[in-house]
Structure formats: C-alpha cells, structure tokens
Amino acid sequence: MTSPSLATSRNGEGRHILHCLEQVMGTVVTIDIYSEDGEASDQIYLQVARAREILQRADAVFSTWKANSPMSRLRRGEITSEQSPPEVTEVLAECAKARQISRGWFDPWAMPGGVDPTGYVKGWAAQRALAALAATEISGAIVNAAGDIASFGAMEHSQAFRIGIVDPFSPSRLACVVELTGAIATSGTSERGSHLIDPYSCRPTARVASASVSGPDLGLADALATAVAVAGETGLRLVEALDDYEALIIGFDGTIRWTEHFPLVSP
C-alpha cells in the first residue's frame, strides 16, 4: 500500500506538486504538498505513504465504530489503558490536558457510553501525519481531515495558505477566509449537532452555530473548537486568554465574532 492513490501536478497558484486522498476515519483525508521545485521526489512519496499509514493506524486504534478496536475494547472495560497500545495512553493524557485548558468544556469522559476521545483523535492523527512530511524540498503541506486542517509552511513565494470557513447557514458558501499558520478546526451544530454534548449538563447543546479555532496543534484546536461550540461566548473569552490559539464564532443570529488575533482575511 505504498503507492499514492492519486498524484497530479497542477498549475495555478502556488506550486502544488501532490494531491492525495486517503479514505480513513469514516471520511476522506486529503494531503496536499507544495514545493518550490517542480516534482515530487521519491522521498516525498515515501513520506506521504508514511503519513497515510499514520492515519490508518490511528483509525484502527481509536475507532469507536469498529467493535474490536483497542478504544472500543477499552470503553467496554475489556482492557485497561495499560493494556492498550501506547498511543491510547498518549491521547488520553492529551485529552486530559485539553479538558483542563478548556476548563472542562471539552471532556471526553463526559460522553455517553464512556470515554470517547473522537473529538481529539482526528486532529491529532492529521497533525501526526503532517509531521511525517519533512522532506527539505517541501515548502508547505496541508493535511485536511474533512475540514479540520493541519498545515505548515506556505505556497510558492511564501504566499500563505488561505482557508475558507463554511457558512453554517448556507453550507455551500463561505462565511470568511483565513490566512492559515498551523492548524484550524471548525465545529458546529450544522455538522453534527446531536454529537455536541455539554459536559456540564451531559446534554446535546451548542451555543453557537459554528466555532473555529486556529493554532499550532490541530489536536488541541479540534478539542477547543468543540469546547467553544458548546460554551459559546464563554469559550471565545477562554481562547482569548490562551497563547497561540485564536477563535471565531458564528452565532445562531449570524453574528460573527472573533478573538483579537484570529487570522481573518475577509469578514
């Protein structure tokens, strides 16, 4: 399974040398690589293959849909976290950190059916996959896990990546565009409202239609986006107080608000 599923050279803005799709985690993850010099080297192909393996491995370990995944078995109490693969301990430790940082608004332990780190894992896995893309000729790369995006670098001539945020009221349109440095995750009722659980009431809740969080790490950004979607304004202020992370919310009345340094290009 080393061959990339799809590789195309594209013209247009930037020097986009590789576009690859990986079916994983119940969705498609895309990997895009940009380079100053023309073509993807063997080294890049190998690194992309490694990135895809990382995604598949994360799915195999953490899927709560696969009855025999270590995560499912842990949830049923068949194994302890010590008996689980090492990633499980790592992810649960990171989730505990994210819970603390979000003051409990992100809480995998408050999910119905037992601990469920799904809200962290997709971002975490994409961030790890991105880390595999380290060839020196890569000027920038994007790993997009169905709208949760990890990136580094930029396009040709240091032109920053631009990412659109979907309008939750008209999902085929964009509400705004951000200039990306690092990661961005978006959570909202439009996506899967019934899955947003308020850890304080243990009920499905969302206080805004959409919450996006940008920052250096997609795992934490993903967790914080979930937290802000549930907490609303309170969540926005919470992120404002964090170093390195920024947030934007779109209220049910359509009002858009964001933290001071959110990398908005056009409102």
Partner 1 sequence: MRRAPVVIGATVVGLIGVLTFHTKSAPITLGSLSGASATQGSTTTTTTGPSAGDNSSGASSPPKSGSSTGTSTAPSTNTASSPSTTRSATGAAVDYHYGILSVSVTASGKRITKVGIGTLNDGGNFRSQSIDQQSIPILEQQAVQAQSANIQGVSGASYTSAGFEQSLQSALGKLGL
Stretch that binds partner 1, among 46-54, 129-137, 145-153, 235-243 (CB under 8 A): 145-153
Residue 232 binds partner 1 (CB under 8 A)? no
CB of 179 to partner 1, least distance (A): 10
Q: Pick between residue 104 and residue 156 the one whose CB is nearest to partner 1.
A: 156
35-40: long-range contacts (C-beta < 8 A, 24 or more apart)?
A: 35/137, 35/138, 35/139, 36/137, 36/139, 36/156, 37/137, 39/9, 40/7
CA 203 to chain CA mean position, Å: 23
Site string for partner 1, 153-172 (x = CB under 8 A): --x-----xxxxxxxx--xx
Those residues whose C-beta lies under 8 Å from the C-beta of residue 15, and which sit 6 or more positions away, are 34, 35, 36, 37, 38, 139, 155, 156
Q: Which of 85, 104, 147, 216 binds partner 1 (CB under 8 A)?
A: 147
Q: Which of 2, 9, 27, 201 binds partner 1 (CB under 8 A)?
A: 27
Q: Are 36 and 150 in contact (CB under 8 A)?
A: no
Binding-site residue total for partner 1 (CB under 8 A)?
52
Q: Pick between residue 94 and residue 167 the one whose CB is nearest to partner 1.
A: 167
The rounded distance, in Å, linking the Cα atoms of 145 and 191 is 14
Q: Which of 26, 78, 100, 233 binds partner 1 (CB under 8 A)?
A: 26
Residue 78 binds partner 1 (CB under 8 A)? no
Residue 194 binds partner 1 (CB under 8 A)? yes
Q: In sequence order, what DSSP letters do the residues of 2-43 get, joined into one string?
A: -S-S------SSS-EEEEEEEEETTEEEEEEEEESSSS--HH
CB of 24 to partner 1, least distance (A): 9
CB-count exposure of residue 195 (10 Å: 0-12, 13-18, 19+): middle
Q: Which of 9, 10, 28, 78 binds partner 1 (CB under 8 A)?
A: 28
Which secondary structure element, helix H or strand E, spans residue 148, and what is its range?
A: strand 148-153
Q: Pick between residue 93 and residue 174 the one whose CB is nearest to partner 1.
A: 174
Q: 3-class SS at 202?
A: coil
Please give the residue ranges that form the binding site for partner 1 (CB under 8 A).
3, 5-6, 8, 13-14, 21, 23, 26-28, 30, 32, 64-67, 142, 144, 146-149, 155, 161-168, 171-175, 177-178, 180, 184-186, 188, 190-195, 210, 212
